[in-house]
Amino acid sequence: MTAIVFDVDGTLLRFDRPYREIVAGAIETVRGDAPAAWLDAYEEAFFESFLAFESEPVERAFGRIDGCSDPEPYATALLEAEIEALSPPDGVHDDLERLTAETDAGLGVLTNGVRDWQLAKLRAFDLEDYFDAAVASYKVGVHKPATEPYRALEERLPARRYVMVGDSDDDIDGAAQAGWTPYRYDGGGFGDLPAAAEVDQ
């Protein structure tokens, strides 16, 4: 069996605006404005927390902003703002249904992110149920392109061969290092899979 594994952000779902604008919109929803100092502080604190694999990195990042006494509403607003700014590629449901029906491939998700957060975004677009396994780097304790997230996916979705569909160098380089077949997503649909990835039909 060949497993086809998809990245989330930039592949299964794409933002329609710069991420800083999304964060600004979330902050403004809660407090009425979005000071540049808050945006800068959030960005710095989030990546510090994210790279350290601290629990609830979004809430922690907002909690470290001077003047933010209650980070939870901001975290909730940011997830809602991300979902509002995301969209899947045209025809993605048809493509995933075809891959499920016409090949022997199991479908998986491998994402750099917090599992519950990423699954919530997939769920918002009725995508979660297409996948037999989902691995988030945050659970593994190391991000792509390290091979550990790929090995974790292999444990959850045993297969003879793996194809990684992603838009970033981390996706492609990590897949190659893990011995997977990398397939760089170019922003269209997934209509040329499985042939382009030489998946058995």
**Same structural domain, 79 and 125:** no
Domain housing 96: 2-14+87-197
Q: What is the pLDDT of residues 182-193, one digit of tens each?
A: 999 887 778 777
**Same structural domain, 114 and 190:** yes
**Same structural domain, 7 and 104:** yes
**Same structural domain, 99 and 153:** yes
Please give, one letter per residue, the 3-state secondary structure of the chain.
Answer: CEEEEECCECCCEEECCCHHHHHHHHHHHHHCCCCHHHHHHHHHHHHHHHHCCCCCHHHHHHHCCCCCCCCHHHHHHHHHHHHHHEECCCCHHHHHHHHHHHCCCEEEEEECCCHHHHHHHHHHCCCHHHCCEEEEHHHHCCCCCCCHHHHHHHHHCCCCEEEEEECCHHHHHHHHHCCCEEEECCCCCCCCCCHHHCCCC
Domain final residue pick, 27, 53, 86: 86
Q: What is the pLDDT of residues 100-135, one digit of tens each?
A: 887 676 899 999 989 999 999 999 999 999 999 999
**Same structural domain, 125 and 174:** yes
pTM: 0.90
**Same structural domain, 70 and 120:** no
**Same structural domain, 9 and 74:** no
For range 33-43, the mean pLDDT = 96
Which is higher by pLDDT, 27 or 101? 27
**Same structural domain, 182 and 96:** yes
The pLDDT of residue 201 is 38
The pLDDT of residue 196 is 57
Q: What total of structural domains would you count in the chain?
A: 2
**Same structural domain, 94 and 147:** yes
Domain final residue pick, 65, 86, 107: 86
